[in-house]
Amino acid sequence: MKRVGVLGAGSWGTVLAVLLANKGIKTVLWARNHEFAKQIRESRENTLYLPGFELPAALEITSDISKTVTDKEVILFVVPSHGLREVAKQVSMALDDLPKSPNLPYALVSASKGIENRTLLTMTEIMEEMLPSRLSGRLAALSGPSFAHEVASSMPTAVTIAASEHKLCTGLQDLFTTETFRVYTSLDLMGVQLGGALKNVIAIASGISDGMGFGTNTRAALITRGLAEMSRLGMRLGANPLTFAGLAGLGDLVLTCTGDLSRNRQVGLKLGQGQSIDSILKEMSMVAEGVKTTDSVYAMAEKYKVEMPITNQVYRVLYQGLDPKDAVNELLARPPREELGDIPA
């Protein structure tokens, strides 16, 4: 029987743990808070992040990180991006005393979407830094258009698993695939992670547009020009441009820019309606990754000299108090240009 440890009992971590447990895979779900883990374990329901869905009896829930990762074939990181470094450090300490294969995991998968603020690293780059060096080459990322509630409801969903080796990709593809959860493979680890992170910034912009009362013309323009920004930065960092036309790029972008379940779009909606970012974040029980990611992507655009006007305006609204109306006016006042003139050959 395969053995998987899932780190993070938010909505997405819980759903992935349930998906694996329902396949007959021995799965342990880790929650940071001891009392929260106890509540989930006893009620067999994650009432905070995934209410209304019964957890399978075979799914083990714990707050013991060592128990979660010891003797597991796959370790899945599904924690907020700003907390991944600390969790990876704890995992490293738990694994450090283990002997070499076969007791070490053959794959460590990030299902977190973000860019670390201080270092501007992707999630697997943080994992590469923090985890034992003998695990190098076993890292992967799962991304794509996938609201947790819909996956929990067994609605057809397609995502992408990326790793640097084809064999690792196909092994994880088999692990996660179900009758309603279709998994494609990619060797573009950088591109898949950038797509999952950058789309959240554009989703905030889309929400702002909707909150201001603009129509579907405006939203379509933001999605399309947002995709151009994502592709420019991705190519600058060595990603395959075709990745941004796939599930981890355009697919996830469309979902988060249009879906009512998108937390990042909801942040934008409230900003467009006149609420402050501080008041919006105080009301939220779950993390909107795009807020912190905007800070990182703005810094990346500056560092790599990539033009990202939508990201720039979202950053100014979030961090410099720019009125969304002024942000729109400034975007529209930019000099006219050729549509594909800014896409590198």
Active-site positions? Answer: 199
Phi-psi region of 77 (alpha: psi -120 to 50; beta: other; left: phi over 0): beta
Amino acid at the residue 273:
Q
Rg (CA), the chain: 20
Query: Which residues make beta-bridge pairs with 30?
Result: 7, 62
Could you tell me how many helices (H) and strands (E) the chain has, helices first? 15, 10
> What backbone torsions phi and psi does residue 30 show, to the nearest 5 degrees?
-105, 130
Cβ-contact 202, 226 below 8 angstroms: yes
Of 200, 231, 210, which Cα lies nearest the Cα of 293? 200
Pairing of strands 139-143, 157-163: antiparallel
Phi-psi region of 282 (alpha: psi -120 to 50; beta: other; left: phi over 0): alpha
Instruction: Name the one residue in this structure whose structure tokens are 């057809």.
Output: 156
Cβ-contact 208, 268 below 8 angstroms: yes
By three-state DSSP, how is residue 74 classified? strand
* Alpha carbons within 13 A on the beta-carbon side of 53: 22
Rounded distance between C-alpha atoms, residue 124 and residue 331, angstroms: 33
Query: Which residues make beta-bridge pairs with 141?
Result: 110, 162
Rounded distance between C-alpha atoms, residue 275 and residue 282, angstroms: 11
* Alpha carbons within 13 A on the beta-carbon side of 181: 27
Classify burial at 126, counting beta carbons within 10 Å of its beta carbon; exposed 0-12, middle 13-18, buried 19 or more.
buried
